[in-house]
Each structure stands twice: as structure tokens, then as C-alpha cells.
Amino acid sequence: MKIYTVRSGDTIYALARRFGLKPEELVYANQLQNPSVLSIGQSLVIPVDSVRYTVRRGDSLYRIAQRYGVTPAAVAAANTQLGSGERIYPGQVITIPFRTPHLGTAAVNGYITDARTETLNATLPYLTWLSPFSFRADAQGELTPTYSIATDRSAAYGTANLLTLTNLKEAGGFSGDIAHSILTDSDAQDNFLQNVSDLLDRGDWSGVNLDFEYVKPFDRESYNQFLRRFAERLHARGKLLVTAVAPKTSADQSGLLYAAHDYPAHGAAADYVVLMTYEWGYTYGPAMAVAPLDKVRRVLDYAVSAIPPEKILLGVPNYGYNWTLPFVQGSAAKALTNVAAVTLAGTVGAQIRFDEAAQSPYFNYTDAEGRRHEVWFEDARSLDAKYRLAAQYGLAGFSFWNLNNLFRPALLVLESLWSIEKAP
């Protein structure tokens, strides 16, 4: 598979012909909403491993390689018949290689809070676990459904289901008070654990995905003790415990998001730990990449020192934001899908740029009211960079937030690099 960056003059039809595909194959792989409009700088997934090319008069290996976005050395290596002189002549047929390295087998989790059946059917083949945002706890340890899904379709794709439990309030937002009660009140905790056991008895769940956020700093040790107790109960039943933690860069990082998430404790108790490595660019913050690679690396540098790398699932965002500029504190960016971001760029005639430090795409435009905008999102290039981090750090795999909306390039790039671990 190849990731191609659109240049001036490119069209879907010309690119399809160049890479030996039908136009509709390119449109499908990239979910193009308006195939007649491509933006300069837009990334496209080209779902081929190689192309057979007939040399023309005036061609050189350098020119051919440049045309296809590969190196002359890669072309020469794929065509040993050329010999050391790398001589080519008109009419000669050579191979242009696009194979990506196989990095191993990865475990992949996908959160959902809402999804159409067709989206789930397209996504489940690429997942080890599906984690519907299933139940929210209250201060007494009672569990209320937050999202209902027919999990029986997962088994057909070899995907397991994880019961996702949160400390969300009924009105929305995570509650430190709810977490405090479950972590410190023995009656509430016993009730919570019994309710979880009842759900595991009734449903097709391979384990629990625990997402307690905004836990109060003074509840850190209570949370650790609870994790140990919870893990022991789940493991006795042959069930997994997966936990989600904020993206920390040091053990003593302060703040409501971070302080109570003790990486070594989670790493010791849980089977897998999801690093929520996203939301640097967020709804109420200034315009920036949602998951800039340089900042993700800083989190990983600390995480692998505190949690066994083979237990870590790297958080991967599946969305972007549109900010109105200049940023004003209290203003809100608009969330949008990656597909919608690319469509918007084409509609407003924006060139898509790529930030090398963040390894993320973005673009700017001015709307009909004269307001300036900045949009950051994920594309095949940014996801490719994130997927390769797992091999560099020896991680278990990935966790998507979230998979409500299908972004096919994310799945195709993942599959090109990794084999997906499936439930036994």
C-alpha cells in the first residue's frame, strides 16, 4: 500500500490510471465525498503493493521514482534484472514497489458511543475488542446503561466485547465525587462489584474496560487498592481488566486529569492500559493538532518506564476540530470527522499542509462572513506515523477514540502495517 500526497493537476482518474486501479476503487478506499475535487496536500491511500510500468523515451529511474513517490533505490531493488548499471530503455516493463514493512501483530480496541450497523460491520474485522460506552456508575455503585448495542455481531468477526464502565454523571461529564464514593465507601464498592458480576453473567463480555476520569488526587491510593481488588475478582472469572489513563509525562504530574492515575499501579493490576493520547487540541483550547506526535512521544517515554510496554494500547483519535480565529478563551471549536475535514478543504479551496513536528495535517480558510478558520484532523500520513510508534516502543497495540464514524484509510493503513490480534 502507498500513501500519496496530491499535487497540482492531479485527478482521481489520472491517479487511478497511474496506479493501475479503477477510479471507484480510489474513491472507495478514501471515502471521497466529491471525487471531482482534490486538494493540494491531501493524502490518499493507494491500495496496491506494486505497479507494472512501461518505460517511455526520456525516462530515468529518478524520474520514474519521483512520479510514483518512491526512491530510485527501491525501484532498482525491485528490478534486479537491471543490474548494477540500472539501465532502462523504452518499452521495458519494470516494477514500482509500494510494500510497507510488516511490524507484527497488534491488539486493537475501539470505543463507540453510537454507531450505525454498516459502520460496525466495516470496523469489526480490524478490532480485537469492541468497547461500547456501556454503563455509568453512580455514587451508590448502581450501573445505568449509557449505550445499547447488539454485541452478538462481534463474534462473527472474531472480535471480543469489553464492558466499558465510567463515572459519568447523568447530565454528562466525568464526576470525581462518584469515583470517590465507589473507591472509599465499602458498601458502594461492594454494590458496584456485584452489579458488574451480574452484567458479566448476562452478557457476552470478555472483560471490563474501566474509564474513571477526573478522579480526585487524594483518592490515588484508594483507586490503586480498588484496581487490585477488581483485577483479582475479574481474573478469578477468566475476564480481562483494561483501564484508561490520562497522558502523563511524569509520575508526579499534577492536575485533576493526571494525579490519581498511577501508571505503575495500573500496569501491575490491569491486563492492558489505554493511554488517552489525544485532546491536546480540544474543544475549548487553541488551534493545534489533536494528537501531535512529538507530545505523544513524551508520554510514551514515561509510560514504558512505568508500565510493561506489552500492556500498553496507544490512544488514536478518529476526529478533528475546526477553530474560529483568533482563539478567544471560552470559545468552542467544532468537532468534525476526518472525512468531513477533507471535504471541507475541497469546498473552500484550501491547501492542506502537514506539520512535521506534530505529524498532522491542517488547513486554513476564510468563511463567507470573513472569519478565519483553522482545521486540524487525522489522515493516512498522521495515522501511519502513530502506528509505527507501537513497533518503536514495543507496545501491545492501539485504542481508537472513537469509531462512531467510519474512516476507511485509518483501517487500511493499520492493516498494511500490522496483523490484528483476534479473540481465541
Confidence (pLDDT) at 85: 60
What's the pTM? 0.95
For 255: left if phi > 0, alpha if psi spans -120 to 50, otherwise beta; the answer is left
Confidence (pLDDT) at 312: 98
Q: Which residues pair with 60 in a beta bridge?
A: none
Q: Say if residues 370 and 246 touch (Cβ distance below 8 Å).
A: no
Q: Say if residues 270 and 242 touch (Cβ distance below 8 Å).
A: yes
Residues in the chain, pLDDT under 70: 84-86, 148-150
Q: Please give the positions annotated as active site.
A: 213
Confidence (pLDDT) at 80: 86
Confidence (pLDDT) at 151: 75
Query: What are the tens digits of pLDDT across the range 171-181?
Result: 989 999 999 99
Write the CA distances from 228 to 63, 184, 189, 302, integer angstroms.
60, 14, 13, 22
10 Å CB burial of residue 84 (0-12, 13-18, 19+) is: exposed
Q: Which residues pair with 272 in a beta bridge?
A: 242
Confidence (pLDDT) at 99: 82
